[in-house]
Amino acid sequence: MRNFIIEKPDEAILPLLREKIDNLTKPRGALGKLEEIAMQIGCIQQTLTPSLRRPCNVIYASDHGITEEGVSQSPREVTRQVIHNFLNGGAGICFLARQHGVELKIVDAGVDFDFPPIPQLIDRKIRKGTRNFLHTPAMTREEMLRAVEYGAEIVSDCHDEGTNVISFGEMGIGNTAASSMWMTCLTGIPLADCVGAGSGLDPEGVRRKRDVLQKSLDNYRGNFEVEDIMACFGGYEMVMTVGGMLRAAELKMTILIDGFIMTNCLLAASRLHPNVLHYCLFSHCGDEAGHRLLLDFLRADPLLRLGLRLGEGTGALCAYPIVDSAVRMINEMHSFSQAAITKYF
């Protein structure tokens, strides 16, 4: 696999950031989580005046062979239909991107459809969907490594264009099933606690999904190493996200983590390079079963709890204004001396 060099941010700057924040015109700690965010971003950027430049949300999209087993409420063709909705500006992520001034990049990682050349759609298709992991690994090791590389390349392009804060989204019918497999294999949390309704399964559908995934787990003959788990059960969009997250951390970008699927991608990335976690802000706790358990496993404190389960990066973009407020706080609030106010704590 590509050799990512991800350094832990130098924490020597933290006392200086704390001093600056404590001398703003407010009681110490009065802005709570905003202060924590400003400290983290200042540490990532190694500056007392952090900035957010050209925010971008990258959506990787792919189909999953496991959908042949009826693990999703939605048919496979929905993946390519939603891609068209992204491109036409009509999806949930689109209004949020417009609202908050976030650029969208849409990447075909492995959609089971022959798109014509579309300037707004980045073609990195590896294959028309993964294989059915009930019977065989979802992808070959070579495909997995290529997906990591493609995901990293997209983030390098974002960085070259001036982006220093990034989030990731996904589209792929069946990817909650794949994410549940990553979660149970990489955390040891029982599979039953990792499986949810996805795009809207009823209780009987959830039971069937859980049974199919249990059979897939029983059939697994790998070594439970993270790269093997990624290849055996992942989606191309998920593996590209892992590569994207690792490259973003390597480039010292701030990463906003979205919902259940993206948190599982971070789980895999952190097993490869634990220092990636220092660059991440967890945007929200979603409504998909297992997400709260996974956040607890990662000792994450999400910014929002809105009952979201759409994916696409929507939770990350909902949280972006809070992150922006934290950066504005440290840069725009006056100190006690600037405001000629007696320090009142």
Per residue in 140-169, pLDDT tens?
999 999 999 999 999 999 999 999 999 999
What are the pLDDT digits (tens) for 259-277?
999 999 999 999 999 999 9
pLDDT for 184 equals 98
Using CA atoms in the order 316, 1, 188, 234, what is the torsion angle rounded to 10 degrees?
60
pLDDT for 198 equals 86
Q: What CATH number is given for 11-50+329-339 in this structure?
A: 1.10.1610.10
- Whether the per-residue pLDDT at 344 is higher than 90: the answer is no
Contact (Cβ atoms closer than 8 angstroms) between residue 300 and residue 279: no
The count of other CB atoms within 10 Å of the CB of residue 131 is: 18
Average pLDDT for 17-31: 97
Q: Tokens standing for 56?
A: 């971008």
Q: Which residues are catalytic?
A: 312
Q: Tell me the pairing of strands 56-62 and 103-110.
A: parallel
What are the pLDDT digits (tens) for 178-216?
999 999 999 999 999 999 998 789 999 999 999 999 999
Distance CA 279, CA 51 (A): 14
pLDDT for 73 equals 87
pLDDT for 91 equals 98
Q: What is the CA radius of gyration of the chain?
A: 20
The count of other CB atoms within 10 Å of the CB of residue 276 is: 23
Distance CA 25, CA 218 (A): 59
Tokens 């559908």 locate to 205
H-helix or E-strand spanning residue 269: helix 260-272
Give me the residue spans of the domains in the chain.
11-50+329-339, 56-322
What are the pLDDT digits (tens) for 214-226?
999 999 999 999 9
The count of other CB atoms within 10 Å of the CB of residue 340 is: 7
Count Cα neighbours of 95 within 13 Å in the Cβ-side half-sphere.
3
**For a pLDDT cut of 70, what percent of the chain falls above it?**
100
In sequence order, the β-bridge partners of residue 108 are 61, 123
Count Cα neighbours of 120 within 13 Å in the Cβ-side half-sphere.
10
- Whether the per-residue pLDDT at 345 is higher than 80: the answer is no
Rama region for 162: left / alpha / beta (φ>0; ψ in -120 to 50; rest): left
Which residue from 18, 100, 101, 27 is spatially nearest to 330, judged by alpha carbons?
18
Q: What CATH number is given for 56-322 in this structure?
A: 3.40.50.10210
Distance CA 317, CA 281 (A): 12
Average pLDDT for 166-181: 97
Q: Which of 94-98, 146-150, 264-268, 339-343 has the lowest mean pLDDT?
A: 339-343
